[in-house]
A and B are shown apart, each in its own frame.
Chain A
Amino acid sequence: MNSIYLYQDDLLSLLNLIHYLVINKVTPDNIKPLDYAPTLLDEVINLKIEVNNDLIKQIINNYSIRIFNIIYYVFLSENENKELIIYYFYLNLLKYKTNIIYMRNLRCVSKALKISKYVSSEAHRLKGFVRFKKLKQEIYYAEIAPENNVIFLLAKHFKNRLKNEYWIIKDVKRGLISIYDKKDFYLTTESNFKMHDFKTSEDDADIKDMWKEFYNIIAIEQRTNERCRMNFMPKKYWKYIIEMSDNNEKNY
C-alpha cells in the first residue's frame, strides 16, 4: 500500500505536515490535498496535527526569504509531485541549511530550483502580458489563464503599479479572482464573486484600436521573425493579449 498523507489545500498546512513527518522520521509515498481521489493501492492518512502559524516566519528567519520563496513557488506550480519535491527539499534543508541552494547535485534541489524558476518567470512574463480593459464603472478588468497559480504574485505587482485605480484580475483556468479597492487586494473564488455588467467604457474601443495600430506599425517588415516572436511570447498566452487575439480572431 502507498501511504498518502493529506493536507488542507494551503501552504501553511502543507509545511506543518511536512515538518511533522520529517521530525518523526516518516517517509510518505506521497502527499496530496484533501480532495485527492485515492486508488485501490492507496492508504489515505489524515493526521490531526497542531498547526504552527509561525512556521513560515521561522523558515524565513532561520534560513532566508529566498529559500522560502523557492518552496512557495514550487507550491504555486502545477507539478503533480510538488508536495513530495517540497518534502525532500525540506528534509535536506534541515541538513544543509542555507547551503541547500548550492546543492544542485541533489535531485530534489535541482528540481525545486527549476520549478520555482519556471513559476517566477511566468509571473514576470505576465506582468507584461496582462491586458486590462476599462469597464463603465471605472474598473480595470483583465483575464489570464497561466500555467501556474501566479495570480497572487501579479496582484502584489499591480497593487503598487495601479494603486489609485480599481482593478480585477481573473484566472479563468482556476476560477480565482483578485480584487483591488485602492487600499489592498483580496483573493476570492469565482463562486463568491457576483458581477453582471462587463460593458466597457466609451473610450475603451478607441484606445484598443490605437494600441493595435501601434503594435502593427512598430514592427520592421524587413526584419520579420515569427519564430523569435513565438519564443518570447508563446501562443498559449495569445488568447488574452488583445493585439494578438484580435489579429487572429479566426483561431479562436
Chain B
Amino acid sequence: MEIKEKLRILADSAKYDASCSSSGSKRKGDLGNASFSGICHSFSADGRCISLLKILLTNCCIYDCKYCLNRKSNNIKRAIFTPEEICYITINFYKRNYIEGLFLSSGIIKNPDYTMNLIIKTITLLRNKYHFGGYIHAKAIPGCSEYLVKKLGLLVDRLSANIELPTENGIKLLAPHKDFKNTEKIMGYVKENKSHKFVPAGQSTQMIIGATKESDLDILSKSEAMYNKFKLKRVFYSAYIPVNKDNLLPTLEKPPLVREHRLYQADWLLRYYGFKTEDLLNSKQANFNLLIDPKAAWALNHLQEFPKEINSCSYYDLLKIPGIGVTSAKRIMSSRKHFKITFKDLKNMGIVLKRAKYFITCNGKYFIDTTFFNKNFIEANLVLEDKPNNAVERKQLSFFHE
C-alpha cells in the first residue's frame, strides 16, 4: 500500500480525538522546538485547530467498542504505518511548517504491550535518529505494563489515556473489553512521575458526550474528580457522532454540539474560576440550559450577590461576573489601584460589556435605571444578545457604544 493511502486511512480514523493542543512544553532539539503557548497551524472546515499531525499507527484493533469506527467487527480497509514512514511524514511536514508536531495514537494490535512497543519504537526513532525536538503527544494504551508508560513518558511532551465514557456503566455497555481501572492506573502513574523530563506538558483525557444516558452532572462530576485526583491538564469532550449502527447506540440527527460547548464552558469554570460542580448543577437541575451559558445561569440564580462594584469587589468576585474572564479580572485589579474605573474606562481597557454590564456597578452607578435590575429583564436580554439579527434591540440597550 502506498504511503499516501495509508495516511488517508489512518488520519481518517484518528480524527475523532478532540485534543490537538501543543502547549505546555519548552523542549528544544536539533530539528525543531516546542512553543510554550502552543501554535495552531491551520483550521479545518469544521473550525477545529490543526496543530499536530494526528494519525493512528494502525487502525487494526482487537477490541469491538460499539461507538468506534475501527472496531473489530467493522468491515473497513485496514492499514499500518512503519515507524520510518511516520518519521518521513512528520519531518517533512514539520520542516515546511505545516505542523507543530505529532499526535500518535493507535488501535490495539495483538495486545496492549505489543502496541505500546510499536509506538515507543516510532517515537524513539523520531527523537534519537532524526533529533526531532517538536511537540509529541502520544496515547498510552490502557492495560499495558507500567515500565512501558515510563519509557514512553520520557520521550513525549504529552501523554494521555482516554476515559471514553463518563461512567463505568457506560463503558460496560459500549466498550466491554475495556476496563476503567486500566485507564486510571496510567493516569495515576503519570501523575506520580510527572517532571520537566517526564510528560512535561502534562496529561489529558477525553469523554464522548451523548452516546450514553449520563447527565451533565455525571460528566462534570467525573471531570472534577479526575482533575483533583490526577492533576489532568485538560478533559476533552467529544460530541458523539454516529459512525456505526448498533441497537445500543442512540440515533442522532446531529451531534450535540451546543451541549459539548456548555460542558467546555463549565470545565473552564472549574479550572480557572473557582467554581465547583455543585455550584452549577444538582440532582434537580442535572443538565445545562442550552440557551444560556453556565456562568450567566449561575449568576441569574444568585442575583442577590449582584450587582458587584468593579472598584472594590474581590478577584474571585470579579471572576463570578458573566462576561469577565481571567484576563479582564486581572486587568481590573491592577488598574483600579491607580484610578477609579468608569464604564467608559472599562471599554478602553478592552473589557467586553455585552454580558457584564447587567451585573456590575462602576462607582455605584448601574448602566441604566436600576429598576431594570431584575431577573426577567436580564435573562431576556442575555438570551436575545446571543442571537444574531437583533441589532435593533441591542442598540437600545447599549448606552456607551461608539
Contacts and interface: CB of A to CB of B under 8 A. Distances in A.
Q: Do A and B bind each other?
A: yes
A224 B45 contact: yes
Interface in A114-171: 114, 124-125, 127-134, 140, 142, 158, 160-165
Nearest to A225: B47
Contact of B93 (A110, A207, A229): A207
Contacts of B46: 219-221, 223-225, 228-229
B193 to A, nearest CB: 28
Contacts of A172: none
A214 B11 contact: yes
B260 to A, nearest CB: 10
B292 interface: no
Interface in B1-35: 3-4, 7-8, 11-12, 14-16, 28, 30-33, 35
Looking at chain B, what size class is its interface with the partner chain?
Answer: 35 or more
B48 A214 contact: no
B53 A214 contact: yes
Contacts of A134: 95-96
Contact of A128 (B8, B39, B92): B39
Contact of A107 (B45, B239, B348): B348
A133 B96 contact: yes
A132 B39 CA distance: 16
A210 interface: yes
B335 A104 contact: yes
Contacts of A223: 46-48, 239, 241, 255, 257
Interface string B80-97: 000000000100110111
A109 B51 CA distance: 34
Nearest to B331: A104
Interface stretch (B163-171, B178-186, B295-303, B337-345): B337-345
B325 to A, nearest CB: 15
- Main secondary structure, interface of A, reads helix
B44 A114 contact: no
B225 interface: no
B348 A229 contact: no
Contacts, number: 148
A241 B11 CA distance: 20
B50 interface: yes
Nearest to B257: A223
Contacts of B92: 203, 207
A214 B341 CA distance: 50
B43 A229 contact: yes
Interface in A179-208: 203, 206-208
A218 B50 contact: yes
A243 B42 contact: yes
A36 interface: no
A213 interface: yes
A209 B4 contact: yes
A131 B43 contact: no
A226 B53 contact: no
Nearest to A96: B338
B136 to A, nearest CB: 15
Nearest to B28: A160
A236 B66 CA distance: 43
Given A105-B348, A210-B4, A128 B51 contact: yes
A202 to B, nearest CB: 12
A103 B97 contact: no
A227 B388 CA distance: 13
A104 B95 contact: no
A127 B39 contact: yes
Contacts of B89: 210
Contacts of A228: 43, 46-47
A129 B97 CA distance: 8
Contacts of B257: 223
B54 A211 contact: no
Contact of A104 (B33, B96, B255, B349): B349
Contacts of B42: 128-129, 215, 233, 241, 243
B95 A165 contact: yes
Contact of A132 (B14, B97, B345): B97
Given A127-B39, A128-B40, A218-B50, A207 B96 contact: yes
A222 interface: yes
Given A110-B349, A128-B51, A222 B95 contact: no
Nearest to B46: A223
A164 to B, nearest CB: 6
Most central of B39, B49, B254, B255 by chain A CB within 10 Å:
B39
A217 interface: yes
B87 to A, nearest CB: 13
Contact of B30 (A158, A164, A218, A227): A164
A103 B348 CA distance: 10
Given A217-B11, A232-B43, 19 more contacts: A104-B348, A105-B339, A124-B39, A128-B40, A128-B100, A129-B42, A131-B96, A210-B7, A210-B89, A216-B45, A219-B44, A219-B45, A220-B15, A223-B255, A223-B257, A225-B46, A226-B45, A232-B40, A241-B42
Interface of B: 3-4, 7-8, 11-12, 14-16, 28, 30-33, 35, 37, 39-51, 53-54, 89, 92-93, 95-98, 100, 239, 241, 254-255, 257, 331, 334-335, 337-339, 341-342, 345, 348-350
Interface of A: 99, 102-105, 107, 110, 113-114, 124-125, 127-134, 140, 142, 158, 160-165, 203, 206-211, 213-229, 231-233, 241, 243
The 4 closest A-B pairs by CB, nearest first: A228-B47, A219-B44, A225-B47, A223-B46
